[in-house]
A = this chain, B = another copy of it.
Amino acid sequence: MEALESIQVMRFPRDKVLFRAGEHCQGLPLMLSGSVKVQMTGVSGNSIVLYRMAADDICTLSIGCLMTGHGYRAEAFVEEESEAAMVPRGLFDRLMDQSADFRLGIMESYGRRLDDLMLLVEEVAFRRMDERLEEWLQARRSPIHITHQEIGVELGTAREVVSRLLKELERKGRVKLSRGRIDVTGL
């Protein structure tokens, strides 16, 4: 009854901005379907993708913002059309109080985020960019429709670096480049 009036299922189209850095939390999204990309922009203006949320994830950043009253430190973009249940604070507290399953879900979301970020730190700090780029390419289905700039944000590096590494791969005959598109031929 109370849940019925307070919970709200929303549908977000591709490219919709869920929140931006500095904004305050407007509700706690519990993902039902789709995919949301969370990224961060440094003072330098460079950005990097931190992690992605998918079905059953709750936005852990929103929990933090809700509880501390701070603004978001990152920004979130819808990558694939998504549905999310927007859980208000009161309901969240009640669910935490009453449902072990809900608590488990929250903890799992937090666990995934922590894991994602730890792996990311290691990647960014120690791994070579050419390896990371190749892995990233291999993890997609060719042809890939994306700009070098966007790949740069995925990997947390500069557009020029991506362009050069891709050109090198093209010279080796592993990819074929065209504007806004990469055909992976042999990796």
Contacts and interface: CB of A to CB of B under 8 A. Distances in A.
Contact of A73 (B96, B103, B118): B118
A91 interface: no
How many copies of this chain are found per oligomer?
A: 2
A64 B113 CA distance: 11
A73 B115 contact: yes
Interface residues of A, number: 40
A159 interface: no
Contact of A110 (B44, B50, B114, B127): B114
Interface in A102-124: 103-104, 107-108, 110-111, 113-115, 117-122, 124
A187 interface: no
A147 interface: no
A40 B121 contact: yes
Contact of A63 (B93, B107, B122): B107
* Interface of chain A, main secondary structure: helix
Contacts of A186: none
A73 B97 CA distance: 30
A121 B127 contact: no
A42 B125 CA distance: 9
Given A42-B126, A64-B107, 14 more contacts: A40-B121, A42-B127, A50-B118, A60-B111, A63-B107, A64-B110, A64-B115, A67-B108, A74-B118, A96-B100, A96-B103, A113-B114, A117-B118, A120-B121
